[in-house]
């Protein structure tokens, strides 16, 4: 019997995951808490546009107040914001089958949050390398030329791994579902892939919110790149302190190259970041910038703030990530406006 799938959070990522899996013939239902997005999908479906053109799909959707309509779910794809992870799992928990899997298709490292409510052996993670923008309720713009893939367009759209085990048996099954959305590969070391992606998120997301720039022009700014390199170096130090081997940051730079760049001994990383600005789709915008546009709380506490918390656990200093976190929170509160002028304290900090 085919498994029942659900995607909690039908935004830019979760919407296309659920809609494309449904179009491929899988038994999947979207769960959407935002009323405007729920009504748009219910009434008109989802319009998803990528480099190959637009498609219009009509997946089934329920609002979070209608979870009693769900049959027991065998695989839950969690696609809510990091700060909503615990509440989302708690809410859907009564609708999960006894041995259901929970798959975090989120930015950030949220598996340890999910593990507070679900056995760790039933948790998987998906590291997304695709960029998507929810342009309006019911409308998603997808770009495969994201920051994460700009240096290697042969990279998959996502990596799938198991949280508590190095086995790939569950991951292979989840990857088969995701292959109907984007090419997916499995990994035996999910946390290495998570920390590698976190380096990108810590470098790019909050700085896009602070400056108000989309990804391509953001990478084109020399002062922004100086801050990015220091952020990445702190992530490398913290990951190493926790025993996680970061792969090539942004698909190109080894951890040693990142650290050398931060010390001013190697200009390779800066040059590669500058070249990436020319390859990324002009429409690409980070998830944090999209939240900032909408006046929502951002995930900065789960990107740069996560690096700071994990650094404290191992005594690893993270002053630039902490400064970025504090600055983005001030912008969230409306104390200062986003723009290149807001970047000045960070530039002064990294220049010493």
HSE, side-chain direction, 13 A CA sphere, residue 46: 32
Q: pLDDT digits over 277-315, tens only?
A: 988 888 888 999 999 999 999 999 999 999 999 999 999
Q: pLDDT digits over 134-175, tens only?
A: 999 999 999 766 555 444 556 788 999 999 987 889 999 999
Strand segments, DSSP code E, in the chain are 4-8, 27-32, 46-50, 53-57, 61-63, 73-78, 96-104, 123-128, 131-136, 139-143, 158-162, 184-186
Task: Please name the CATH architecture into which domain 193-351 falls.
Answer: Orthogonal Bundle (1.10)
CATH class of 4-188: alpha beta
Quote the pLDDT of residue 204: 95
CA dihedral 308, 226, 130, 177 (to 10 degrees): -40
Q: Whole-model pTM above 0.85? A: yes
Q: Which residues belong to CATH 1.10.1040.10 in the chain?
A: 193-351
- The CA–CA distances, whole Å, from 25 to 19, 162, 180 equal 10, 25, 10
Quote the pLDDT of residue 154: 64
- 104: phi then psi, degrees, rounded to nearest 5: -80, 110
pLDDT at 131 over 90: no
Q: Which of 114, 118, 50 is nearest to 80 (CA)?
A: 114
Least reliable range by pLDDT among 165-169, 257-261, 324-328, 334-338: 165-169
pLDDT at 19 over 60: yes
The structure tokens listed for 154 are 């042969």
CB burial of 234-265 (b: ≥16 within 10 Å; e: otherwise) equals: bbbbbbbeeebebbebbbbbebebbbbbbeee
Q: Which residues belong to CATH 3.40.50.720 in the chain?
A: 4-188
Q: Which of 133, 131, 149 is nearest to 141 (CA)?
A: 133
């Amino acid at each position: 019997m085919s498994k029942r799938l659900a995607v909690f959070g039908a935004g830019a990522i979760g919407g296309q995951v659920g809609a494309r899996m449904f179009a491929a013939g899988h038994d999947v239902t979207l769960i959407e808490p935002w009323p405007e997005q729920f009504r748009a999908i219910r009434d008109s479906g989802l319009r998803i546009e990528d480099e190959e053109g637009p498609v219009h799909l009509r997946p089934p959707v329920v609002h979070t107040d209608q979870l009693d309509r769900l049959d027991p779910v065998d695989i839950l794809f969690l696609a809510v914001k990091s700060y909503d992870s615990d509440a989302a799992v708690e809410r859907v928990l009564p609708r999960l089958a006894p041995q259901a899997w929970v798959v975090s298709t989120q930015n950030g490292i949220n598996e340890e949050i999910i593990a507070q409510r679900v056995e760790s052996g039933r948790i998987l993670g998906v590291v997304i390398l695709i960029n998507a923008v929810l342009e309006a309720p019911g409308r998603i713009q997808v770009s495969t030329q994201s920051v994460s893939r700009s240096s290697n367009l042969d990279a998959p759209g996502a990596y799938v791994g198991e949280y508590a085990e190095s086995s790939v048996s569950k991951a292979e099954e989840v990857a088969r579902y995701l292959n109907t959305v984007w090419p997916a590969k499995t990994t035996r070391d999910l946390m290495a892939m998570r920390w590698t992606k976190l380096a990108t998120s810590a470098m790019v997301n909050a700085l896009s919110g602070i400056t108000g720039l989309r990804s391509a022009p953001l990478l084109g700014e020399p002062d922004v790149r100086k801050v990015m390199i220091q952020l990445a170096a702190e992530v490398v130090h913290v990951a190493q302190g926790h025993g996680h081997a970061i792969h090539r940051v942004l698909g190109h730079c080894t951890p040693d190259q990142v650290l050398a760049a931060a010390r001013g001994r190697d200009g390779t990383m800066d040059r590669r970041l500058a070249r990436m600005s020319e390859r990324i789709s002009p429409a690409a915008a980070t998830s944090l910038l999209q939240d900032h546009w909408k006046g929502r709380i951002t995930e900065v506490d789960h990107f740069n703030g996560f690096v700071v918390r994990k650094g404290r656990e191992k005594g690893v200093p993270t002053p630039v990530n902490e400064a970025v976190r504090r600055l983005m929170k001030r912008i969230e509160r409306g104390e200062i406006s986003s723009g290149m002028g807001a970047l000045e304290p960070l530039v002064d900090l990294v220049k010493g």
